[in-house]
Amino acid sequence: MRDTLGLETITNKLEKSIKAELDKSGLMYRLFSRVKSVDSINNKIEKKDYRSKKKKITDIIGIRITLYFKDDVDLLYSLLKQKKNFDHESTDTYSVDEFKPVRCNLTFNLNEAFSNEAKTILGESIDVIDTKYEIQIRTVLSEGWHEVEHDLRYKCKEDWIGHDDLNRNLNGIFATLETSEFSMLQMFENLTYRHYKQNKIEPLIRTKFRLRLKNENLNSKIRSLLTSDKELMKQFFKVDRSKFLFSLHTSKISIPLTIDNLVLLVNHFEIKNHEIRKFESEFVKGEFELL
């Protein structure tokens, strides 16, 4: 294998497909991708003795999804595992007194067309490189830590031998970031509650669902309906966000994620209020009928 240029094209197409799926649910994220260089592949094959162990590299194509919020990790993890081309997962376990991140990597099979193209590109290296790709899930706050750890500890473990105290300190930094992520969620929950108590429906929706919306100006009639009915407002406040997003993502519904449509979607999946249904356009009704 002389170069991986052809694999870049496959990676770009995979990236577009994954973005389309993620955008459907409105999750706040950043997506990055890479193809291992020829030198990196050869070093890995030699260092880990893939040929004699009859093992194959499954992460020649890597895609990283960096989420804004910690609670979205489990949601996305569950959604990705439902994909038909899911192959296997790589996760870690740890005890409560350990300071270290939990690996969250999922491996998927390339479709037939991409797989055949990859085999042609890989040539004789196909005996140690599988036609699969890996998705890593991380959070924004942990992203920088992972980059430092990967390049300056994982790749040069010998530099850290005999320095267990500093090893623990580096992991302790991650623990601090993890605590900050939890605190940030608590902050948004408190902010949502304040908006609920103040009868402010638009801020409530924004801080409750924490989604990337195409429009954040709520229809005045919908706003009036929600703010005039305290019990209805309470129902929106109590919606299980993860459950709703899972239902949305796994449905066939495809409508622009404006704040108006978000209210209609939440009502459709969770609340089922007849007055809110009156605001559904013919297009939205048609999408709901697909279920």
User: Partners of 65 in the beta sheet?
Assistant: 31, 137
What's residue 97's pLDDT? 66
What's residue 207's pLDDT? 97
pLDDT tens digits for range 140-179: 999 989 889 988 998 899 999 999 999 989 989 999 999 9
Strands (DSSP E) found in the chain? 29-35, 61-67, 86-91, 104-109, 132-139
pLDDT tens digits for range 92-148: 666 666 666 677 899 999 999 999 998 888 887 788 889 999 999 999 999 989 889
Q: Per-residue pLDDT for 59 more than 70?
A: yes
Rg (CA), the chain: 23
- The CATH architecture to which 5-178 belongs is 2-Layer Sandwich (3.30)
| Residue spans per domain, the chain | 5-178, 199-288
Q: Per-residue pLDDT for 240 more than 80?
A: yes
Query: 228 pLDDT band (50/70/90 cuts)?
Result: very high
User: Helix, strand, coil % (nearest 5) of the chain?
Assistant: 60, 10, 25
What's residue 224's pLDDT? 96
Nearest alpha-carbon partner for 21 in 84, 71, 70: 84
In the predicted model, what is the mean pLDDT of the chain? 90
What's residue 64's pLDDT? 95
Q: Per-residue pLDDT for 83 more than 60?
A: yes
Rounded CA separation 105/136 (Å) = 5
Rounded CA separation 98/108 (Å) = 30
